[in-house]
Chains A and B, each alone.
Chain A
């Protein structure tokens, strides 16, 4: 399989309003791909089309080499995992009973329940009724539910949005482990640190169009001014261009003991997003 996801000329129109306008991208097997964009940019619409919840107006969509019209088949559904804003749990049932239901629906061994409870740090809450859990704990159960059948491809819509930093870090480690085992991950997030830490490649989506696409390192290099920011002990801030002629200038500053700090210009994904789209990612 050459691509886990291949989207060509995708367009989605709701009541004469184009939510997605002619987007194309592909995701390689084993890749973590991040779709970043503000609310209303078309991220959720894209995920819904990729998971078969929504039909496209135009364009070709292939997921795991399966064409969009066949997304309703049990074979396709058993190969993907989804955590989206539409994901929910049975509030009157326990954590264990919720996971047991999906284990059976996906024909996964029941031992997977314990494995997943361990992965999401919820072993002690297995007998708790879901309605008694905090929002963060529910989010972790939803994640366990999405991964319980060891899918080849996982769609995660803001997976750590309700989690505290400790649990978010725990989930990040789990996702990296999952990815190392070969699972392809398609993720949407507002959290630039999360995208930088997890994603092999990211796409910036705004107004239904992909505005930029590449690895976080590539994008940072592309949008860097390639200058050095030097702060001296006299509290002077110098911007020195990365040019051969400036090498002596930097060397002299260091030799004279004037340099308090020196940094290369390395914009964050958030700064790049602002530069590309003119808006903050909130």
Chain B
């Protein structure tokens, strides 16, 4: 890893981000959602699943979406190959980009939770959970961005990511029975585990989210190995 190269990629990506209307709109989505939800409760605190819905929308529409769009654009325009042929390592490239996406996610999440309620997240366990969830969505974004060859095709992958991993708490509104196989599977998803975490002192939910994050990291690594050469 080389801090100068990471800094150079960060500087380039932040300038590029600011000139890309499509990316600039993404952080606004969770903020608007948080504003709407905050008006619903008439002064009452929002329930935990609602708060995690906002978190899920933030991580899927800002973290995963921005990352996969940035990576896919680099792929589509062949600029990623230029970076990979330079002395910058894959880690330098990913860290530089992740810092930009992380900054945008942090701003969007901070503003959203300012409106929706930040109190439930002020614990070590919740913060660790949010960091792991951020990394999970970040790795998904990198991996998908690496194997998609155009920005247009990222939307086809973003939708399942958003609905499966971002909007998971919405499954309760489908009226499925508690014994339903869909509910049992959804309960293992990262956001559902983090919601569960608030009802227990156990670290098991954090462990499950960590496994999801490791899985996403492996997925990114496989996509990178495929992209690195033309073989």
Interface residues of A (CB under 8 A from B): 48, 51-55, 72, 74-75, 77-78, 82, 86-93, 97, 100-102, 104-107, 145
Contact = CB atoms under 8 A, between A and B. Distances in A.
Given A48-B230, A53-B230, A75-B87, 20 more contacts: A52-B85, A53-B85, A72-B228, A77-B86, A77-B87, A86-B82, A88-B82, A92-B16, A97-B12, A97-B15, A100-B8, A101-B8, A101-B11, A101-B12, A102-B82, A102-B86, A104-B8, A105-B5, A105-B9, A106-B86
Contacts of A90: 12, 16, 77, 79
Contacts of B16: 90, 92-93
Contacts of B228: 72
Contact of A87 (B11, B15, B78, B89): B78
A104 B5 contact: yes
A260 B162 CA distance: 81
B126 to A, nearest CB: 37
A101 B97 CA distance: 14
B64 to A, nearest CB: 22
B153 interface: no
A107 B79 contact: no
A87, A91, A100, A104: which has the most chain B beta carbons within 10 Å? A104
Interface of B is mostly: helix
A54 B81 CA distance: 12
CB-based closest 5 A-B pairs:
A104-B8, A74-B87, A88-B78, A92-B19, A105-B86
Contacts of A101: 8-9, 11-12
A190 B191 CA distance: 57
B15 to A, nearest CB: 6
Contact of B77 (A72, A88, A102, A106): A88
Nearest to B4: A104
28 contacts: A48-B230, A51-B85, A52-B85, A52-B229, A54-B230, A54-B231, A55-B229, A77-B85, A77-B86, A88-B77, A88-B78, A88-B79, A88-B81, A88-B82, A89-B79, A90-B77, A90-B79, A92-B16, A93-B16, A101-B8, A101-B11, A101-B12, A104-B7, A105-B83, A105-B88, A106-B86, A107-B4, A107-B87
Interface of B: 2, 4-5, 7-9, 11-12, 15-16, 19-20, 77-79, 81-83, 85-89, 228-231
A254 B40 CA distance: 106
A75 B15 CA distance: 28
Contacts of B230: 48, 53-54
B85 A55 contact: no
Nearest to A129: B19
Contacts of B88: 74, 105
Contacts of B19: 92-93
B85 A82 contact: yes
B85 to A, nearest CB: 6
A77 B90 CA distance: 13
Nearest to A155: B85
Nearest to B90: A72
Given A54-B230, A104-B7, A105-B86, A92 B20 contact: yes
B87 A53 contact: no
A75 B82 CA distance: 16
A101 B14 CA distance: 12
Contacts of B11: 101, 104
A89 B15 CA distance: 14
Contacts of B2: 74
B190 to A, nearest CB: 33
A168 B213 CA distance: 51
A77 B86 CA distance: 6
